[in-house]
Amino acid sequence: MNVETVENYPALSATVAQSIIDAVARKPDALVCIAGGDTPLGVFSELVRASQNGNVDFSRVAFVGLDEWLGLGKADKGSCREMVWGHFFNHLNLRDEQICFFDGLTKDPATECQRVDEYIAAHGGIDIIVLGIGMNGHIGFNEPGVATNTGCHVVDLDDVTQAVSVKYFGKPLPVKQGISLGLKTILAAQSIILMASGEKKAAIIAKTRNAPVSSAIPATLLKPHPHLRVIVDRTAASQL
């Protein structure tokens, strides 16, 4: 697994944003998926700026969400919906049909999974997906031990994920499950970017690079993908 190292978080954000801009230039009606969470926030800012400056045209692009906490909606600070709309979608001029995002408040998660799977299929699959990595190596909410042949699915959240969740919500919330794109869908993407920033991600980036491909560390499952880029900043690379 080749790991590209850039100087710092702004450089990481700019590099990943440029990959999206290039993908959209190549395919103006691309289906794009960008993770929620803290890591992509700089990518969102770069893309909003590029859109406002006319350096990228999102008018024909479609976006699909990666995951969501079950039981949380737009009004909940730290939900994926609240973060991605607040930092990204609200600043672009998108039509409703350009966005497909999990409804964390759904009473019928199976139908919600089917809706998202069908949106992806109708767009011919994901063209480019930008992923963060959890402290436990999770990808989206694909936690350690995950099955690799799944489309969208409901997940029991790992203890590590539940503990980390406080940083988004500002307080402990009783979130026990998530809803997520599955590994089958993620690995079917034309290109994958895994990004990581900061000292706290150094250990899991090193483990991911050194470990064999196995669902024990879900990020290792990305390694066989022919168009995977792993891009990290210097601090996240510090244990390589």
**What is the CB neighbour count within 10 angstroms for residue 121?**
11
What is the CB-side half-sphere exposure of residue 230 using CA atoms within 13 A?
24
CB nearer to ligand PGA: give 44 or 63: 44
The nearest distance, CB 235 to ligand PGA, in angstroms, is: 13
By CB under 6 A, how many residues form the interface with ligand PGA? 7
Pick the binder of ligand PGA from 32, 126, 133, 175 (CB under 6 A).
133
Q: Is 178 in the site for ligand PGA (CB under 6 A)?
A: no
Q: Which range of residues in 4-12, 76-84, 133-141, 213-221 is near ligand PGA by CB under 6 A?
A: 133-141
Q: Is 109 in the site for ligand PGA (CB under 6 A)?
A: no
Distance separating alpha carbons of residues 70 and 237, to the nearest angstrom: 32
Pick the binder of ligand PGA from 134, 137, 182, 218 (CB under 6 A).
134
Q: Is 42 in the site for ligand PGA (CB under 6 A)?
A: no
Q: Is 78 in the site for ligand PGA (CB under 6 A)?
A: no
* Residue pair 156/220 in contact by the 8 Å Cβ criterion: no
The distance in angstroms from the start CA to the end CA of the chain is 11
What is the set of active-site residues? 67, 136, 138, 143
Q: Which range of residues in 34-42, 98-106, 109-117, 221-229 is near ligand PGA by CB under 6 A?
A: 34-42
Pick the binder of ligand PGA from 37, 65, 78, 182 (CB under 6 A).
37
Helices (H), 27-108: 41-52, 80-87
* Residue pair 131/75 in contact by the 8 Å Cβ criterion: no
Cα 37 to Cα 34, 50, 82, 131: the distances in Å are 10, 21, 10, 10
